[in-house]
Amino acid sequence: MINSVRNTVLSVLNKNNYGYISPSDFNLYAKQAQLDIFENYFYEYNYQINKENARSSGTGYADITKGLIEVIDMFSVSSPLSLSTTPPMVSNIYYLPSPTTTGYDYYLLNKVLVYTTLLSSGTTDSVLANKCIDSTATFVTDGVKVGDVIGLVRTNITQYVTVTLVDSETELSTTNSIYTNTVWDGVGVSYVVYNNDLQEAEKVTHSKITMLNNSLLTAPSLVYPAYTEEGLIMTAYPNSINDIGRVLSQYIRYPNTPKWTYVSLGSSGEPSFDQSQPDYQDFELPASDEGDLVQKILQYAGMSIREASVVQFAGGLENAENQQQQ
């Protein structure tokens, strides 16, 4: 889609010889335009909910909310949060999603889940493919069953594998994780086994958490966990939530930064679209938003080349579309 958008933008700009934007400028505007539209989904979603509450929105094919949820869910990611291991080693502090811990920055942390029942934990002391082997473990006695989840950290990423067979008191067969198929390739891997009971943790403001912790009736428990956010970390309550992989997050990530990649052709160095470049990244928005992207980029480009009529044209198109959607 990115090449199509660029061609359309250039076509509009060149129509009256307004000017030309370079690939690097285009990529900058494309990123901004995508972010604008991405963020607007959430405002649009709220607008549609209000319309629903006022009974002025339809169902079936007229269910605009449903379409917006689908688009937003395209950016949904579920992944465990990494336990902060800088002092103290055991704490209830976890890192929020970021490119280094979960692979993505998060726009909205929608849900935080906590595994309530820890069945077993330890460190592996033998190596066998797809086997968690710990000679000191008592997996059968601990009640580990097929389908239970094992949290572990490999290559600094907290990840899960699932128990496929309880071989013995000291040995479990597992699946691979989504990150690697060699999770058990070394001894000394710390692991924690949970059963599948998950409870949703509630986000609480800093102004409430102290009173909540002191409340006899509503203090956070493993049945009703809570968390606060501070910078790049979240603190889970009760503070017994302090194990590897105990906290699972579902969040809406930012869209990847689009990049129109090219090769230079001929002596003039005319750029030619080449999507085989390793850093190529298409827009992540649905095709129906191509028009919006063109308008947004045109606005930025018009500002750049100081051509008011381009900005006006793109702005007019956007307003017309907004009115139509309402």
Partner 1 sequence: MAYISQYQYYENGGTAPTDENWGSYQYVSLFEIVNNFMLMYQGNHSLINNEERFKILFHAKRAIQELNYDAFKEIKVLELSVDDQLRFVLPSDYVNWVRISKESNGILYPLSENIQTNWSSAYLQDNTGKILFDIDGKALSPQFSELDYARIFTIKPTIYLNGGSPYNGMSGYNDGGDWYFERQIGSRFGLNTETANSNPTFNINSKQGVINFSSGMHNQLVVLEYVSDGLENGNDSKITVNKMFEDFLYAYIEYAILSSKLGVQEYVISRARKRKGALLRNAKIRISNIHPGRLLMNMRGKDKWLK
User: How many residues lie near partner 1 (CB under 8 A)?
Assistant: 16
Structure tokens at 80: 């465990």
Distance CA 153, CA 157 (A): 5
Q: Tell me the closest approach of the beta carbon of residue 143 to partner 1, in angstroms.
A: 8
Which of 212, 233, 305, 317 contacts partner 1 by CB under 8 A?
A: 212
Query: Which span sits near partner 1 by CB under 8 A: 27-35, 122-130, 218-226, 269-277?
Result: 218-226
Window 233-272: contact mask with partner 1 (x via CB under 8 A):
----------------------------------------
Query: Which span sits near partner 1 by CB under 8 A: 36-44, 215-223, 272-280, 295-303?
Result: 215-223
Nearer to partner 1, 39 or 202 (CB): 202
Q: Can you name the residues that pair with 198 across neighbouring β-strands?
A: 115
Range 79-138, binding partner 1 (CB under 8 A): none
Range 183-202, binding partner 1 (CB under 8 A): 202
Question: What single-letter amino acid sits at 168?
Answer: S
Q: Tell me the closest approach of the beta carbon of residue 12 to partner 1, in angstroms.
A: 40
Counting contacts by CB under 8 A, is residue 319 touching partner 1?
no
Which of 181, 210, 221, 277 contacts partner 1 by CB under 8 A?
A: 221
Nearer to partner 1, 94 or 237 (CB): 237
Q: Tell me the closest approach of the beta carbon of residue 189 to partner 1, in angstroms.
A: 29
Structure tokens at 320: 């017309």
Q: Tell me the closest approach of the beta carbon of residue 202 to partner 1, in angstroms.
A: 5
Range 48-67, binding partner 1 (CB under 8 A): 49, 52-53
Distance CA 146, CA 9 (A): 55
Query: Which span sits near partner 1 by CB under 8 A: 91-99, 176-184, 211-219, 271-279?
Result: 211-219
Nearest CA to 152 among 127, 128, 129, 179? 179
Counting contacts by CB under 8 A, is residue 217 touching partner 1?
yes
Q: Can you name the residues that pair with 131 across neighbouring β-strands?
A: 173
Nearer to partner 1, 2 or 226 (CB): 226
Which of 24, 100, 181, 215 contacts partner 1 by CB under 8 A?
A: 215
Nearest CA to 139 among 198, 195, 193, 197? 193
Query: Which span sits near partner 1 by CB under 8 A: 22-30, 134-142, 220-228, 259-267?
Result: 220-228
Window 32-51: contact mask with partner 1 (x via CB under 8 A):
-----------------x--
Which of 204, 293, 298, 311 contacts partner 1 by CB under 8 A?
A: 204
Nearest CA to 246 among 143, 103, 153, 113? 113
The answer to whether the beta carbons of residues 65 and 49 sit under 8 Å apart is yes
Counting contacts by CB under 8 A, is residue 70 touching partner 1?
no
Residue ranges that bind partner 1, judged by CB under 8 A: 49, 52-53, 143, 202, 204, 212, 215-218, 221-224, 226
